[in-house]
Homo-oligomer: A and B are copies of this chain.
Amino acid sequence: MRVALDVMGGDGAPGVNIEGALLAAKEIEKGDTIYLVGPEEIVKNKLSEFKNASKFDNLEIIHAPDVIGMEEPPVDAIRKKRKSSIAVMAKMASKGEADAIVSAGNTGACVAASQLRMRNLPGVNRPGIAVVFPTKTGPHVVCDVGANVSCKPINIYQYAIMASVYSSQMLGIEKPRVGLLSIGEEESKGNEITKKTRALLRDDEDLNFIGNIEGRDVFKGVCDVTVCEGFVGNIVLKLTEGLVDHLFGAIRDELKKENMLFALKFKGMMKRFYKKYDYHEYGGALLLGVNGTSVICHGSSVPRSIKNAVLAAERFTNKQINDQIVDWLSSRPVETPQ
C-alpha cells in the first residue's frame, strides 16, 4: 500500500505535513510506504529538521516542483501546473504508482485532479465529498459538502449508498441510518430535487432510510448519514465551523470580563471538550466515488490530522470500500447517465 502525501498543501505546509507524515510512518502497516510529494529540496530540508526522520525506511520523496495555491481556480491550475504536487499525485494514482492520495491543499484542485485522473467508479455519476461531523452521539457523515454544486437526484441517491458503506466500514456503524436534508420532515416538504431523491432513497431496501431531516437535526443524532447537494452541504459545513468559532470566542470574551481565573478554568475544560468534538481525529474528508482513494484535509490541518488522514487513506484502501460501493451500485437499475 502506497499513500502519496501532498507536502505543499495547507496553511502549515510543508512543516506540519512532514511532521504528520513522520507520525503516520510510525503507525502504518509493515511494507506500506508514504510518498512525500513536493519540491525535492524543500522536502529534504524540512525532513532534515526532524531528528527521527532518518530512522524511517517507509518514506520516499517524489519530486514535484510546482505548487497550486489555495486560491487558484482549480481546473485551470490542474491543467497548467502539471508538475504541481496535486497533479503529480493524481497522475501516480492513475498509473497505479500510488494507491491513495492525501492533500490539505486547494480542495477544488484535489477534486478536479482526482476526477480527471482516477475517473469515477463504475456506476457512479458524480463523486461527492464525505465529511465526518463529530457529535455527542457519535460520528455523523455528511455528503456532499462541495464536490458537486448542482446535484441531480441520482447523485444524491448514490451519495447515500457510498456514505452508508463508508459509515459502516470506516466508522463501524451497523446499518447506518440515512437522512435527507430538507426543510421539513413531511414527504411534501422540500424542493424538486429532494422530493425526487426521497423516492429513490425510499425504494432502495438495502438503505436504512429514515426520511427527511431538518437543519436542527444535524447534531441531534437522529441519523448517521446525511445526504444533500454540494451547495447546501458546503454551506452547512462552513456555517458549522464559523458558528462554533464564533460562539466559543464570544463565551471566552464574556468569561474574561468576569474573572480571569474562571476563564482559565474554562479554557482547560474547553480543551477536553474540543478533543471530543475534534475533526482532526478523522483526519480528512473522503472523495467518494472516484476509482481510487482520495483524502482531502482541512487547510488548517495539524500534524495529527495529517497522520490520521494518511491512516484513513490506508484503511479505506485496505478495506476495499470501493469494491463494496461498486457491488451495491451494480445491482441497482442503471439510470440514464447524467
Contacts and interface: CB of A to CB of B under 8 A. Distances in A.
A146 interface: yes
Interface in A235-251: 235-247, 249-251
B262 A258 contact: no
A328 interface: no
Nearest to A248: B247
A214 B192 contact: no
Contacts of A230: 183
Contact of A235 (B146, B219, B236, B246): B236
Contacts of A67: none
B238 A235 contact: no
Given A136-B250, A254-B272, A269-B255, A219 B243 contact: yes
Given A183-B231, A231-B190, A238 B216 contact: yes
Nearest to A254: B273
A265 B218 CA distance: 29
B214 A246 contact: no
A150 B192 contact: yes
Interface string A130-155: 00000110000000001001100000
A149 B191 contact: yes
Count this chain's copies in the assembly.
2
Nearest to A136: B250
A220 interface: yes
Contacts of A220: 242, 246
A189 B114 CA distance: 19
Contacts of A146: 183
B215 A237 contact: yes
A238 B250 contact: no
A234 interface: yes
19 contacts: A73-B188, A146-B183, A150-B192, A214-B235, A215-B234, A215-B235, A215-B236, A215-B239, A216-B245, A218-B239, A219-B242, A231-B232, A240-B243, A250-B273, A254-B269, A254-B272, A254-B273, A255-B269, A266-B266
Given A73-B188, A220-B242, A235-B235, 12 more contacts: A149-B191, A183-B235, A215-B238, A216-B245, A218-B239, A219-B246, A232-B232, A239-B239, A250-B273, A254-B272, A258-B269, A262-B265
